[in-house]
Amino acid sequence: MKIVLTSCGIINEDVREKFFALFDKAPEELRILYITTAVDGESGDKSWVDDEFATILDLGIRKENIVEYKIGEPDVNLEDFDAIYMMGGNSFYLAKKMYEYDFGTPLKKALEAGVVYIGSSAGAIVAGVTLAPAVVYGDEPVDNKDYPCLNLVDAAIFPHANKRAKEYADWLKDWSGEAILLENGDGVVIER
């Protein structure tokens, strides 16, 4: 599996280079499934949504090769895309929708077939083993259920670590597992 985790898009030059190395085609040929489900669970200012979309275009990916998708809409064949970009928003809402529609099953199948997973903010959190970073960050829970994460990475993923450094550090004192802290602008590329 090829996984890219970020706080707010692939903007770090080192991460960009590693991202491009995951493909055997030029950026303008890549087809991206852009999953915006997590935004629907978000309240307040959403001006960051356009900024995050711009980070994809800044990679040289053509707008007509980006298909926006909401989990629960009519099925798409995930394997028709080179990458699946799971954007930010409310991690709890995203996890709930993935659970309701059993989205993890076709997603993992596509990743095993070579599709690249890009998780940004909430999309990064759900790639890990726990939604706890979303609690610490301040996402609003959707309901009282504890929805599973994708477990693509054996770690708790903490995006925007520079914004919640103290809160994350306090939580990590009691965490015995692995953790990946991503500051804004940071990213990590994992191949397993």
pLDDT of 142: 81
Q: 153-168 pLDDT, tens per residue?
A: 999 999 999 888 888 8
Tally the residues of the chain. Answer: 192
Domains annotated on the chain, with CATH: 2-191 (3.40.50.880)
Q: 82-127 pLDDT, tens per residue?
A: 999 999 999 999 999 999 999 999 999 999 999 999 999 999 999 9
Q: Which sign does the torsion angle of CA 46, 93, 126, 167 carry?
A: positive
pLDDT of 139: 81
